[in-house]
Structure 1
Amino acid sequence: MVRTLVIGGGIAGTAAALALHKAGSDVTVHEAHPDSAEDIGAFLTLASNGMRALAQLDAAAAVTAVGFPLRSMRVLDDTGATVAHVPLGEAGDPLLRYRCLHRGELAAALQAEAARRGIGIRHGARLASVRHTPDAVTAHFTDGSTATGDLLVAADGLNSVVRQGFAPDVRPRHAGQRVFYGYTDDALLAEENAGESERITMVRGSGTAFGYAVSPAGETYWFARVPGEPLTAEEIAHGTPGHWREQLLPLLRKDTTPAAGVVAATTDRLMVTDATEIPTGTPWRSGRVLTIGDAAHAASPATGQGASMALEDAVVLAKSLRDAPGTEAALSLYESLRRPRVEENVTVSGNISRGTPPSPRPGRGAPASRPGDDDLVRHLDWHTDLWTECGSNTPGSPSDQ
């Protein structure tokens, strides 16, 4: 049985632990935070592809117990006129509907499911360094403890300590926008938006991209993406909700949309961060060490795919290790399947954030190497043997010699 160390107990790490455990690995999660909380201020949407990955992990029920579904998307222009109203993803399947929820709620739900299955999660374990030999890998923690396994999966986020150990020159880069998140349970606003249930509204403002959704309890979740230089750590640490609200409102009031009213009704639950990404082409692995999720391929939030991509990572990694003839072949297979897909997301999302027109592409508009919907469904289907289907195209496989 493969002994796997997972560094990071957030969305990517805990999902990976669930997948690896299902595939037969002896897995332990090492999380730096003392509890399950992870960035509890922000919210996210899980798209149908992310929900499909959760279903393959038998974890869909744990996640649909929190948050609320989104069946459709309405798009407004800067005058407030509706220019589109379309279904979201696979809205007809309750298991695959988009879902809106707090990031911390998702992490906590996944951790609770991992604990229920007997997966070890060690809190307060902050990584200091990693040492690996041809036969094993050892994680050293700041409290002096160590853990040794056959494989180390690093899901330690944007500023990954593990990645810095084998790719020290790689730095997260600004994607051209500041991102505001907020919540309000203003009763008047909830009454005005009584018909918004299970729908997200996107506003194409003259200078700001804005979106909001109303929960069944009448709470409005919203975000705004604003072009701008990166904020300093000091600015983020010392900025108050009132300060950020007053910066944002003049931009929104240039348009006649609901956005300014939503933000004006938000009193204290408001935060801001920078849109950040990891450059494409960044190394993902070294020996028995592999990065996944944001540690490997963080993208700006413009496409809303970060969490869903991490959940896909978890399933494809576990299946690669289950199906391939050895760890090296498995990691090569995993990277060959995942890199084209996630790096296209990084590029597309970054272009949206920077206002860069998309590059023209031949054919249907996607590279042949990027999995289409049918390929992705097969890659995620737990019963599909990835090595049988895809191993012959993996660098280093017998047919590639």
Structure 2
Amino acid sequence: MTEKALIIGGGIAGAVTAMALHKAGIEAEIFEAYPTGADDVGAFLVVFTNGLEALRVIDAHGPVVDHSFPARRVALIGDDGQLRGERPISGIDDGSALGPRTLRRATLYRVLHDEAARRGIPVRHGKRLVGAETVSGPHGARVVASFADGSTAEGDVLIGADGLHSATRTLIDPAAPRPRYTGQNTVCGYAHGIDTPLAPETYTMIAGKRAFLGCTRAPDGDVWWFANVPGDELTGDGVADRTPADWRSRIAALFADDDTPAAAIVRATGDTVIASNSYDITTTPTWHNDTMVILGDAAHAAAPNAAQGASMAIEDGVVLGRALRDHADPRAAFTAFEELRRDRVEKVVATSAGLAGRVGTPEGARAREAAAARAERGGAGTSDWLTGYRIAW
């Protein structure tokens, strides 16, 4: 029986998994490589209905709702500025479920960490995993984790919630696939003092001739936006060499020939401009061994186009916590977890990759417009399977 879990990674998946295990009566300890858990400071994300309902299962949705703002609908505008379609963002709009919420990534990390701490779950910072081995004990196999600072920790299981470049994934399978660069950069920012009319509680998606931009207006009037643009993979120097002004100029130029507000929104942005590479992992053949398992981006990273990364990580954490509660043998729990999750998450990765592959092309713009038109005619089934997912504890 699992009594203690070592969780590698203090991001979304790590914090949620720890709280799910706490609810299941299993001790958990989080080990975070960085001094804080808030990487990607400045970037924002959406937690969709499926993610929020999974948080509700472990009574952790309240702080997220309190520190975010809603978006219940999505509208698509073509490069001529005309509305192509509008629908509920989650495929349902009956008020029975928690609607999607937008917040900064750092805020989500902070509120989840605060909630985990309130429940007495320890978080150890500055603990970069460098190795792990399974050892025999009087009550069965145990796992010992080794960290770069020379310390170790021992538990019944080790859970790799350590993201895209997971060390745990490689420890489980040295031949595990590496993340694939999708050919696009994701850039986001915050526009101030712009009076472009945007429908309230709505994500306005602008399909330009050469790039794609999504935006929503925050309660303080700022417009939060992201753009998916084709480009070379950014190295560390490549990111540092581009100033916020460089990014504003580059992104605005991609929309300059369109009759949409996209270029004006980008030009009205201050110096908080965040750029990153878009990666995915289409499949990871091996998720676990006898004492170690991976989840979230460590197991199944999706390109950001479906905006489901956070929600998939949340779902994973809750399902894994339930599996470890219900199966005395860790390997049986890991097998059950994988059986419940693999098909769903790989479908999400494939769906997001399909959108990513045509960003910045006329074909991609037409495909997005066609999808919006189908949704407007009532064909919201894709959103239903994605955001209508629920977990019974």
- TM-score, normalised with respect to structure 2: 0.88
Residue type at the aligned position of 1:318: G
Establish whether residue 102 from structure 1 lines up as the match of residue 104 from structure 2. yes
Match of 2:196 in 1: 192
Residue type at the aligned position of 1:253: A
Establish whether residue 59 from structure 1 lines up as the match of residue 60 from structure 2. yes
Out of 201, 207, 211, which is 1:204 matched to? 207
Residues 239 and 373 of structure 1: CA distance in aligned 2, closer, same or farther (over 3 Å): closer
Residue type at the aligned position of 2:127: A
| Distance (Å, rounded) in 2 between the aligned partners of 1:157 and 1:181 | 20
Match of 1:146 in 2: 152
- SS of the residue corresponding to residue 28 of structure 2 reads strand
How far does the alpha carbon of each residue in 1:191-224 deviate from its partner, in whole angstroms, 9 at most, with x for none? 434x533111011111211100111111211001
Match of 2:179 in 1: 172
Q: Which moved more, 1:46-55 or 1:28-37?
A: 28-37
Residues 28 and 273 of structure 1: CA distance in aligned 2, closer, same or farther (over 3 Å): same
Deviation at 1:93, TM superposition (A): 3.2
Match of 1:266 in 2: 269
Residue type at the aligned position of 1:8: G
- SS of the residue corresponding to residue 122 of structure 1 reads strand
Establish whether residue 163 from structure 1 lines up as the match of residue 169 from structure 2. yes
- TM-score, normalised with respect to structure 1: 0.87
| Distance (Å, rounded) in 2 between the aligned partners of 1:375 and 1:353 | 23
Match of 2:354 in 1: 351
Match of 1:388 in 2: none
Out of 279, 292, 298, which is 2:282 matched to? 279
- SS of the residue corresponding to residue 118 of structure 1 reads coil
Residue type at the aligned position of 2:18: A
- SS of the residue corresponding to residue 178 of structure 2 reads coil
- 1:21-40 alignment runs, 5 A limit: 21-40=22-41
Match of 1:123 in 2: 125
The answer (yes or no) to whether the contact 1:320–1:333 under 8 Å persists in 2 is yes
- SS of the residue corresponding to residue 269 of structure 1 reads strand
Q: Whose relative contact order is higher, 1 or 2, with alpha carbons under 8 Å and at least 6 apart?
A: 2
Establish whether residue 381 from structure 1 lines up as the match of residue 384 from structure 2. no
Match of 1:86 in 2: 87
The answer (yes or no) to whether the contact 2:185–2:278 under 8 Å persists in 1 is yes
The answer (yes or no) to whether the contact 2:196–2:261 under 8 Å persists in 1 is no
Residue type at the aligned position of 2:182: A
Identical residues among aligned pairs (%):
40
How far does the alpha carbon of each residue in 1:17-57 deviate from its partner, in whole angstroms, 9 at most, with x for none? 01111011110011112224222221101111011101101
The answer (yes or no) to whether the contact 2:15–2:116 under 8 Å persists in 1 is yes
Residue type at the aligned position of 2:352: S
| Distance (Å, rounded) in 2 between the aligned partners of 1:310 and 1:374 | 14
- SS of the residue corresponding to residue 290 of structure 1 reads strand
After TM superposition, the runs of 4+ consecutive aligned structure 1 residues lying more than 3 A away are: 90-95, 364-367, 371-376
| Distance (Å, rounded) in 2 between the aligned partners of 1:374 and 1:229 | 32
Residues 159 and 373 of structure 1: CA distance in aligned 2, closer, same or farther (over 3 Å): closer
Establish whether residue 314 from structure 1 lines up as the match of residue 317 from structure 2. yes
| Count of residues in correspondence between the two structures | 368
| Distance (Å, rounded) in 1 between the aligned partners of 2:305 and 2:196 | 27
| Distance (Å, rounded) in 2 between the aligned partners of 1:46 and 1:294 | 15
Flag structure 1 segments of 5+ consecutive residues without an equivalent.
359-363, 383-401
Establish whether residue 230 from structure 1 lines up as the match of residue 237 from structure 2. no
The answer (yes or no) to whether the contact 2:127–2:149 under 8 Å persists in 1 is yes
Residue type at the aligned position of 1:268: D
| Distance (Å, rounded) in 2 between the aligned partners of 1:284 and 1:366 | 29
Match of 1:394 in 2: none
- SS of the residue corresponding to residue 204 of structure 2 reads strand
The answer (yes or no) to whether the contact 1:55–1:95 under 8 Å persists in 2 is no
RMSD, aligned α-carbons: 2.3
Residues 49 and 365 of structure 1: CA distance in aligned 2, closer, same or farther (over 3 Å): closer
How far does the alpha carbon of each residue in 1:37-78 deviate from its partner, in whole angstroms, 9 at most, with x for none? 222221101111011101101011111111201111111011
| Distance (Å, rounded) in 2 between the aligned partners of 1:374 and 1:347 | 16
Match of 1:244 in 2: 247
Deviation at 1:234, TM superposition (A): 1.4
